[in-house]
Structure 1
């Protein structure tokens, strides 16, 4: 234990994360050794986790400022519908898909940030209300029909396309967070908004920027989502909120491991852990309700343990 306490914060964080990955794999490998956890399966789990990871990394900029977004699912669906329409109906191909998703996601983020700042009510209330509007717009654009991406345009849903797109988003997020004024202000506002204001930071402006950036990442997540699944259906009545869960879980890992100095890396491995657990329950044949209940419980346990490990310490 004394040796562990002398390690740097980042090293401690990586050790804990890798241990959690191994433990999650080991439990299900013991329970169902024949159809879970082979190297090929693990690669498939990781590729599936990249979809939510891209969105979770963007969401981190919002959550680190103490804000929340209930329109994640609606943003993903609307962005995917617009991108698919531009790619198919307007014949723009990959440029239409990529630009349509990312620009739409950014505009949704801009609306979220604008109305949050102007209305001065909690972000979760603003985004929950706006989610209904985004769902309706997506349903109108889609004409009530599921949107399907042609087979020759699904390259970003499989290797190496998905890996390349995910790596690009990771690098962008890392550079912004660690080497830009925006990244510095993100941490400052998240640590103490009052102090940040006294330092001369325009807090409202940077909150809007955070929503826009987050929206762009959700647009990238929409690209991976429709490319991987090949189709998407516009829903109404807040049914899109089911898509909020997994990116939010990954973002919690980032917040929990922020004290180790590796929030983005924690999101990547955290989403991998979530997918290992998810596919582990599938291999066991567990009902969906049981999967969700145990996955949520596992998340609470993991976050509780990881946030208490360094209680009272200063991690450098």
Structure 2
């Protein structure tokens, strides 16, 4: 049993078991309203989208900081994608949000490093600015993606784009200097700095990479939802937490060597929970309860307490 727990596939097997158990429980409790093949396909569409954002957040969170501008980034990138598609077709739909998301990530990283203050404060403040841009870009109205450019909202094109994102994330983490230094900084920033790693540079790179993945998520989001409303007063913040939960699954199971797979399966588990409670007749606000409880549980499991440490 000890050897089994040390296996690199133990964590993935445990996640798959959790996925099957959650499906089975909700299927038994709500056999007619939950878990049919068609509904599972719909659940997985949402999971694929959030997992792309979770992959982006992983680059940041594994180092220690957080990015609370995810929702604002996705809203603004989605709006720009929709507007660009009207002029340039699919080229605008793909290229515009990638550029927008990457630039926002770069700005986040530079401001965070230059101001030397908490990433939470920096990204929350910048979210207000990005939301203001989204209002300006739409004049406070909804933008609707033309029916001619919604291929990324359904199978198999959405699955292909998501797989490209997952493979890219896994490749960067495992086979590049960026991935190596990302883990080194996350493990011990002081030691990494003493070994010659340019910590500020690679933190900026992490935020920039995250922004690129949020641009990918924006493509899937606007294609799946077909419309986007501008945000204000940090209303975009609600979009932060579902990708973040997938990231925490990746952090919890990174010791098994497959964080990207853990992120994807984790998002699938979260979607089963969301839709399972809805199938049981619970109000849609139960999603907020599930999100809050899941975040607390996952953070508790992924944080190693230190004896005598003062909680801040």
Instruction: Tell me whether the two structures share a fold, i.e. TM-score over 0.5.
Output: yes
**Structure 1 position 250 matched with structure 2 position 246:** yes
Tell me how far 1:71 sits from its aligned partner: 0.4
Which of 28, 32, 35 aligns to 2:33? It is: 35
CA distance in 2, matches of 1:221, 1:292: 21
- Structure 2 residue aligned with 1:189: 185
* 8 Å CA contact 1:149, 1:230 repeated in 2: yes
Label 1:72 to 1:302 Cα distance change in 2 as closer, same or farther (>3 A). closer
Tell me how far 1:301 sits from its aligned partner: 3.8
Matching of residues 30-69 of structure 1 within 5 Å: 30-69=28-67
* 8 Å CA contact 2:274, 2:290 repeated in 1: no
Tell me how far 1:5 sits from its aligned partner: 3.8
* 8 Å CA contact 1:146, 1:231 repeated in 2: yes
SS in 2 for 1:131: helix
* 8 Å CA contact 2:248, 2:298 repeated in 1: no
Which of 276, 279, 304 aligns to 1:280? It is: 276
* 8 Å CA contact 1:257, 1:307 repeated in 2: no
Tell me how far 1:291 sits from its aligned partner: 3.1
Q: How many residues align?
A: 304
Matching of residues 51-90 of structure 1 within 5 Å: 51-88=49-86
CA distance in 1, matches of 2:204, 2:79: 24
**Structure 1 position 267 matched with structure 2 position 267:** no
Matching of residues 195-234 of structure 1 within 5 Å: 195-234=191-230
Gap regions ≥5 residues in structure 1: 309-316
Matching of residues 51-200 of structure 1 within 5 Å: 51-88=49-86, 91-200=87-196
* 8 Å CA contact 1:9, 1:261 repeated in 2: no
CA distance in 1, matches of 2:219, 2:290: 29
- Structure 1 residue aligned with 2:13: 15
* 8 Å CA contact 2:69, 2:126 repeated in 1: yes
- Structure 2 residue aligned with 1:311: none
Tell me how far 1:300 sits from its aligned partner: 3.8
Q: Mean Cα displacement is larger for which, 179-188 or 35-44? A: 35-44
- Structure 1 residue aligned with 2:290: 294
CA distance in 1, matches of 2:301, 2:112: 33
Label 1:194 to 1:306 Cα distance change in 2 as closer, same or farther (>3 A). closer
Which of 233, 237, 242 aligns to 1:237? It is: 233
SS in 2 for 1:35: coil
* 8 Å CA contact 2:242, 2:291 repeated in 1: no
- Structure 2 residue aligned with 1:313: none
* 8 Å CA contact 2:101, 2:212 repeated in 1: yes
Tell me how far 1:43 sits from its aligned partner: 2.1
* 8 Å CA contact 1:277, 1:295 repeated in 2: no
Deviations 1:138-162 (A, max 9, x none): 1101121111100110000101110
Backbone CA RMSD of aligned residues:
1.6
Which of 22, 26, 29 aligns to 1:24? It is: 22
* 8 Å CA contact 1:253, 1:303 repeated in 2: no
CA distance in 2, matches of 1:266, 1:247: 12
